[in-house]
Structures are given as structure tokens and as C-alpha cells.
Amino acid sequence: MFGPSLEGPTSVRVYAELARRAWQRQRAYGNANLAGLFTNSFFGYIRVVPLIAAFASRPEISGYDRDAAITWNWLVQSLITIVALWGWWEVALTIRSGEVAIDLARPIHYLGYWLARDVGRAAYSTVYRFIPILIVGQLVSGLRWPEAPWLTWPAFLCSLILALFTSFAWRFLLNLGAFWLTDYRAIASLGLVATTFLSGFLVPLAFFPPAIRSILEVLPFAAIIQTPATVFLERAEGLDLALLLAEQLGWAIVMLGVAHWGAQVAMRRVTVQGG
């Protein structure tokens, strides 16, 4: 279905090269990335003001104190570009232009090809968005850093990688809709609404009523934003932390499996739109 596949060390080198080139591609848009960094930092500041006001009259809201809520705010701002929270439509664009035929002819797995590119993009965002935004947050309002860094930072790194995989699979599935639809903007809107409202980006999921929260916490969208934030803030420890990461791993595996299945279905019904 995807053409002859490379195997062994050669395949690993190819994926690594794809990730490296994706990193280089992001570097070519230095001014745009600086503008994005400024925008994320600005909105981080705008959002932190009402949070400070909300905690002026109460010490805690749904288990979050003032410092935890402020840290959550800057953290989710720093994660936006890593997980491409508001969309990524490169696959859909290649389907519309007809370039997908070239991608399918490559001697590499179609899903793996795009995943490697997304890893490179996310790695760039980690260095040039995630870290700078946290620095801005520390300077502007202060952050709550992990009290057990030897445990929390490795756990957070694992959670961040799993969040990326889950997010990628979701975005890839949305992109596959372009095989059947001439205009993918409706799908883009669906994805935007789902990730914005269900992931813990607007407010921590703990702020929702218990009945709604219990549903949102078991959906894959929570694995994209809320779970990494929970790990960073050390709101889960010991067995709870292990179970949280296991659940996130489960969603990453399930979503990537569904994405692979979706690609197989799409390949059986290939219709190149456009050129």
C-alpha cells in the first residue's frame, strides 16, 4: 500500500533525516517564529491577569492554588506549537495538490514519513517556543517549578512525547478527510473546537463540574494538554503518576493505530483532488 519499505538501520537514518529537515525548515521561518513567540507571550500575560484576580479572594479553586494556576497558564501557552494545538494541514494540502502521489511512491511508510517530520517540527518548537515562553512566564509572574525534578522532568518529557504522538494521530486523521472532501475547512473547524475546549487549554479540566470532568479526563484530548500539565505541576505522584502515563501511552497507541487504519482505508479509495 505504501510502496517498498526501508528496513533496519537504513529506515532509522531516513526517519532521522526527515526530522532534521523538518527542523531546518522551521528555522527558515525565523521571523514568523519570533512573531509567534511574541503572540504566545502576550496572550500568556493577558490570561494570567484574570487568574491572579480570581485567586485574590480565595486561596484555591478545584485543587489549584494561585501559583499552580499561573504555571498552568504559561505551560499551556508553551505547549501550543509543540502539539500544533490549532491544526496542521500539510497532508491535506498534498492531497489537494496531487503531491500525495509522490509521497505514496516513497520507499517509506506513509504514516511514519509524516510522523518523523512532525517530530522535527515539534523539537524545534520545544527549543524556540517552549523554553522561551517559560522564561517569559518566570520573569512576568513567576512559575512553580517541580519540587522533585529528578522524577518530574523525566516523567514530563515522556508525557510530552506521548502528547505529541496523540496530537499527531488526531491531526493526521483530520487531514485524511481531504481524500473524500474537496474542502477540509469544516474538518479544520471541528478539530479546532475539540482540541481547544476538550484538552484543558482554556481552563484546567479540574475546573469543570465533576460529571463533565470525569468524561473529559478519559478522552484522548486530555492527553494532549491536561496530562503534561498535570505531570509538570506534580498533581499526580507514585502509582497515580504511573497510571496517568499508562493511560496516555494507551491513547497514543490507540490513536496511532486508528491513524494507520485510516490511512489504509484512504489508500484504497485514493482520489487525488486538484493537480
Using CA atoms, how far residue 148 sits from 64, 70, 248, in Å, is: 18, 19, 21
Query: Grid coordinates standing for 249?
Result: 501511552
Written as one string, the DSSP assignment of 140-190 is: HT-----SSHHHHHHHHHHHHHHHHHHHHHHHHHHHHGGGT-S--HHHHHH
Cell 504514516 belongs to 111
User: What pLDDT sits at residue 54?
Assistant: 87
Looking at the chain, how many residues does it have? 275
User: What pLDDT sits at residue 241?
Assistant: 97
Distance, in Å, from the CA atom of 164 to the CA atom of 125, rounded to the nearest integer, reads: 12
pTM of the entire predicted model: 0.92
Q: What is the DSSP letter of 205?
A: G
User: What pLDDT sits at residue 275?
Assistant: 43
Query: Grid coordinates standing for 150?
Result: 529528578
First CA to last CA across the chain, in angstroms? 22
User: What pLDDT sits at residue 273?
Assistant: 43
* Cα angle, residue 180 at apex, residues 15 and 5 outer, rounded to 5°: 25
Distance, in Å, from the CA atom of 98 to the CA atom of 65, rounded to the nearest integer, reads: 52
Rg of the chain (C-alpha set): 19
| Tens of each residue's pLDDT in the chain, 275 residues | 444 455 555 688 999 999 999 999 999 988 899 999 999 999 999 999 998 888 888 889 999 999 999 999 999 999 999 999 988 899 999 988 888 888 888 888 999 999 999 999 999 999 999 999 999 999 999 999 999 999 999 999 999 999 999 999 999 999 999 888 878 888 888 888 999 999 999 999 999 999 999 999 999 999 999 999 999 999 999 999 999 999 999 999 999 999 999 999 988 776 444 44
Distance, in Å, from the CA atom of 229 to the CA atom of 231, rounded to the nearest integer, reads: 5
Q: Which of 238, 207, 241 is nearest to 227 (CA)?
A: 241
Distance of alpha carbon 163 from the chain centroid: 5
